[in-house]
Amino acid sequence: MKLAPSILAADFARLGQQVADVERAGADRIHVDVMDGHFVPNLSMGPAIVESLRRVTHLPLETHLMVSDPDLFLDGFASAGSDSFLVHWEGNNNLHRTLQRIRALGKRAGVAINPATPPGVLEDIVQDVDLMLVMTVNPGFGHQQFIRTTVPKIVRVRELVERLKPGCEVEVDGGIDATTVPLVVRAGATVLVAGTSIFGGGDGVAAAMTRLRVASNHTNDQPEPAEQSAM
């Protein structure tokens, strides 16, 4: 299980320190949420943040583009130091071209799907990606409640990956905390994005990350997803 702290929930006034803290605590990559106020109703950060972070961490910088036209921003983020890009299936009529552009830049490529998007859309694109991201909240904001109906979808994406491209990572993003970690890990997610549950706690990021790792070993303690959604 890999942890990708989302800096959307970090204290931007001491961002470098917070990233150093999660790196020391064993984070696997840093998740950078980019929002354009159009694809999602919120604004966040641009390449300048990535450029600054590139100087203070050795961790891979994963850039989640929640923007209407990701192609416009690939070069800027790649030069700034992004190592991988997550682009959305929704609203991209030229997704294959976008993925080829990412690969041409020498970066890892992933496709994200929103909670209302069926997993089957990934079937024809799986050969072109290194990771699949299942959104477990609607994109745009941190600190939202995990949407439980996404759990069976994670299972289906895991099945699709095993069938068509073993080795492709399955990642989840949104509302990931010690309660939801067992559900998503059991469903087949191997990379967990977490913002609030890592940066929002009172006892520091290392303790928070330990809680998530411990929770990932308790996949048998929770009721079945079917029972959960019936509750």
Residues assigned a catalytic role: 33, 173
Least distance (Å) from ligand DX5 to the CB of residue 162?
Answer: 25
The contact pattern for Zn ion, residues 2-31, with x = CB under 5 A and - = no contact, is ------------------------------
Q: Given the complex with Zn ion, which of 98 and 136 has the nearer CB atom? A: 136
- Burial call 142-151: b when 16+ CB within 10 Å, e when fewer: beeebbeebb
Residues belonging to the chain? 231
Nearest CA among 92, 80, 28 for reference residue 54: 80
Question: CA–CA distance from 74 to each of 26, 44, 70, 124, 223 (Å)?
Answer: 28, 16, 7, 22, 42
Q: Given the complex with ligand DX5, which of 164 and 214 has the nearer CB atom? A: 214
Nearest CA among 49, 92, 50, 43 for reference residue 70: 92
How many residues of this chain interact with Zn ion, rule: CB under 5 A? Answer: 3
Positions touching ligand DX5 (CB under 6 A) are: 6, 8-9, 31, 33, 64, 137, 139-144, 173-176, 193-197
Helix (H, G, I), strand (E, B) or coil at 110: strand
Out of 23, 62, 130, 173, the residue judged to bind Zn ion by CB under 5 A: 173
Least distance (Å) from ligand DX5 to the CB of residue 142?
Answer: 4
